[in-house]
Amino acid sequence: MVPYTAGVALGAPIGMFLPTCASPLKRIRMFASWLSGSSHPPQQVCNAMNRRWLYMALAASLACSRTPPPDTGDLGPRGDGKTITVADLANVTQLNLLDFIAAERPGWLRTPSGAVSSVVVYLDGVRVGGASALRNVTIANVARARYYDVAAAQQRFSLRDYSPVIEIITR
């Protein structure tokens, strides 16, 4: 960018040196004070004004956008994508665990390609069957449910068959 003094000395149009953030009258006053040597170049003054407004707007938006975390009481932390905790089940409308998992964690019941998975269900350490066994587990009785993919399930439960596991711990 050409310095302001060089542009004025070469006879460039005055409008190209005036900031566009101010009204026309203010721009003329800013340019006149700059020519007299009593202030900064007009564009620097305008940039400083814009930065102040930007910082104030940023501070106001940060102050207003901060929301407190939802109150879950003493239910404990929420689970991740492979765990369902009491906090996750606090305000659900489903009555049994199969309906909840089908609605909230459908990937637990399907393979990565989208086909229905032959998942094995363990209830308090005892193998109870497939996904249909989840229909008999009521939400009120669940303390924690955890999904294990095939590799993790074979390490944890030493399965002979090749399938994922949903482990349920009751209250």
The distance in angstroms from the start CA to the end CA of the chain is: 72
Instruction: Tell me if 137 sits within 8 A of 131, measured CB to CB.
Output: no
Dump pLDDT digits (tens) for 107-150. 898 877 777 878 999 999 899 988 889 999 999 999 999 999 88
Same domain, residue pair 100 and 133 = yes
Same domain, 114 and 143: yes
More confident residue, 155 or 11: 155
DSSP letter at 138 equals: B
* Inside any domain, residue 76: no
**Bridge partners (DSSP) listed for residue 85:** 144
For residue range 26-54, list pLDDT tens digits in order.
767 776 676 666 655 555 555 655 667 66
pLDDT band at 1 (very low <50, low <70, confident <90, very high): very low
Q: 120: how many CB neighbours lie within 10 A of its CB?
A: 21
- Let me know if residue 70 belongs to a domain: no
In a domain, 59, yes or no: yes
Q: What is the pLDDT of residue 155?
A: 86
User: CATH number, domain at 120?
Assistant: 2.170.130
Question: Which pair of tokens denotes residue 104?
Answer: 């909230």
- Residue range 5-23: average pLDDT? 51
Q: Is residue 144 one of the residues assigned to a domain? A: yes
Does 164 share its domain with 115? yes
Q: What pLDDT score was predicted for residue 154? A: 87
DSSP 60-117: HHHHHH--PPP--TTS-PPP-TTEEETTTTTT---SBHHHHHHHH-GGGGB-TTSPBP
Residue 47 lies in a domain: yes
pLDDT at 11 exceeding the cut of 80: no
Question: Of the residues 35, 65, 95, which one is the last residue of a structural domain?
Answer: 65
Looking at the whole model, is its pTM more than 0.85? no
| Per-residue pLDDT at 2 exceeds 50 | no
As a whole number of angstroms, the distance between CA 152 and CA 162 comes to: 11
The count of domains in the chain is 2
**41, 19 Cβ separation under 8 angstroms:** no
Q: What is the pLDDT of residues 71-116, one digit of tens each?
A: 545 545 566 788 998 888 888 989 999 999 999 888 898 877 777 8
Query: What average pLDDT does this structure show over 145-164?
Result: 84
Do the Cβ atoms of 145 and 96 come closer than 8 Å?
A: no
User: Which is higher by pLDDT, 159 or 18?
Assistant: 159
Q: Write down the pLDDT at residue 3.
A: 47
User: Are 145 and 111 part of one and the same domain?
Assistant: yes
**Measured distance CA(170)–CA(167) in Å, rounded:** 10
Q: Order across the sheet with 126-129: list the strands.
A: 83-85, 142-148, 165-170, 120-123, 126-129
Domain range for residue 126? 83-170
